[in-house]
Amino acid sequence: MQSLFVVEHDAIIGKRGEEIVVKIQDIVAERAQLASLSQCVVLGNAALTTPAVKAMLKNGVDVVFMHRGGGFLGRLTSGRSRNILLRKKQFQRLSDPAHQLALAASCVRGKIENQRRLLARFQKRRPSPELSKALVALRLAKQRVDGARDLDTLRGVEGSAAAAYFAVFGTLITAPNISFTKRLRRPPPDPVNILLSFGYTQLGNNIHAMVESAGLDPYLGGLHAPQYGRPSLVLDLIEEFRPVIVDSAVIRALNTGAISHRDFQWIKGDDATAEERLLLEDYSEDGDGSHGEDATLPPPVIFGKTGIRKWVGEYQRRLNEMVYYPPRGLRLSLQHVMRAQVHHLARCIDNDQAYTPWLSPR
């Protein structure tokens, strides 16, 4: 299954036969078979025709709206799942504090171990005291997961592990003119942060569709507390895949030169265009760590015209890579591993079993 990304502002997304076509000034720029399409992601001000929207909803293709800063705006979905019995079990199981904590602990354990394995691979190639220290911190954090007796304690463990991980993440980036010192999201102050934010949003979009397809409710999870409009279960499930898919793809894209600093642009105060000002408004409305008023930080960064296309290609390339999946004893693409894990969770809920996170190869 493929994702169609539309980034041009003057694009028109329409339907022709069994295809979704993207036209720019009456010229077909892109096309995708409905049968092989999983989602259509729209960035900017592209227009959608009613026949295209109807065809995508009929075929279970989500239409996702994002802004160029990497933020999620909303989605059109067909609501294809009708498995109310599974959802009822999900609500019963995750309303029990013990089961909720168990799922949350599994998600955190998987995330920390996959972060640790990523750092360990780089430590073998280029040993450093900083990486060694971070590896110790992650190992200790993973041990503390098993001792967490409530969600607040578990979230604290996850937060300390993330701090140790991102404190050394910048040392993994060797690309010229690219630096990373701290994880900041709204707005991202550098190319690494915007790639991470955009990638995590893509990851969430992918898993959201898989969760609904499996018959689960995306809004009730374990680690992430229920909140109006928050797909808590989706956020739970992406945890183990963040380092494996997005972080790894960001490092490779930058270190190989597939994406460079020339693929981004910085928004500089009064020089910002109308579109860039709208992006800053999107960030400030989110209210999540915005530093637009902090003059000590660099100006926010957004993708340039070439950046989005390049990153989408790198992300899809990573999703298509084959890895070993122990539960089935065979190699699957990472995209299929994600889908398998979602269905694994559905079976666990249906059969009152414990969820086991997938761990990347050492």
Task: Fill in the DSSP letter of residue 261.
Answer: G
CB 135 within 8 A of CB 123: yes
Q: What is the pLDDT of residue 276?
A: 59
Q: What sign does the dihedral 40-42-48-54 (CA atoms) show?
A: positive
Q: What is the pLDDT of residue 81?
A: 66
Same domain for 235 and 99 = yes
Q: What is the pLDDT of residue 187?
A: 76
Model confidence pLDDT, tens digit, residues 126-154: 999 999 999 999 999 999 999 999 999 99
Same domain for 341 and 303 = yes
In a domain, 272, yes or no: yes
Same domain for 202 and 154 = yes
Rounded Cα distance between 328 and 326, Å, is 5
Q: What is the pLDDT of residue 284?
A: 45
Same domain for 116 and 10 = no
Same domain for 207 and 61 = no
Question: Beta-strand (E) ranges in 258-315?
Answer: 264-266, 301-303
Contacts of 263 (CB under 8 A, 6+ apart): 191, 303, 304, 306, 307, 310, 311
Question: Beta-strand (E) ranges in 262-312?
Answer: 264-266, 301-303
Same domain for 296 and 155 = yes
Rounded Cα distance between 296 and 117, Å, is 34
Domain that holds residue 188: 84-351
**Number of independent structural domains in the chain:** 2
Closest listed residue to residue 16, CA positions, set 39, 33, 29: 33
Same domain for 300 and 158 = yes
Q: What is the pLDDT of residue 362?
A: 82
Same domain for 209 and 93 = yes
In a domain, 356, yes or no: no
Given a cut of 50, the residues of the chain with pLDDT beneath it are 283-295
Same domain for 117 and 59 = no
Helix, strand or coil, per DSSP, at residue 41: strand
In a domain, 79, yes or no: no
Closest listed residue to residue 350, CA positions, set 101, 102, 85, 107: 85
Same domain for 36 and 155 = no
| Class of residue 102 by CB neighbours under 10 A (exposed 0-12, middle 13-18, buried 19+) | middle
Q: What is the pLDDT of residue 278?
A: 57
In a domain, 78, yes or no: no
In a domain, 178, yes or no: yes
Give the CATH number, domain containing residue 52. Answer: 3.100.10.20
In a domain, 75, yes or no: no
Q: What is the pLDDT of residue 60?
A: 86
Same domain for 133 and 45 = no
Output the CA–CA distances (angstroms, integers) from residue 293 to 64, 287, 305, in the order listed.
30, 12, 26
Q: What is the pLDDT of residue 301?
A: 85
Same domain for 179 and 57 = no
**Number of other residues whose CB lies within 10 A of the CB of residue 357:** 21
Rounded Cα distance between 119 and 348, Å, is 30
Model confidence pLDDT, tens digit, residues 253-271: 999 999 999 999 887 766 6
| Residues constituting the chain | 362
Last residue of a domain, one of 66, 96, 111: 66
Element (H, E) at 331: strand 330-333
In a domain, 71, yes or no: no
Q: What is the pLDDT of residue 286?
A: 41
Rounded Cα distance between 135 and 120, Å, is 7
Output the CA–CA distances (angstroms, integers) from residue 62 to 38, 40, 209, 213, 244, in the order listed.
7, 6, 7, 11, 24
In a domain, 77, yes or no: no
CB 201 within 8 A of CB 70: yes
Give the CATH number, domain containing residue 106. Answer: 1.20.120.920
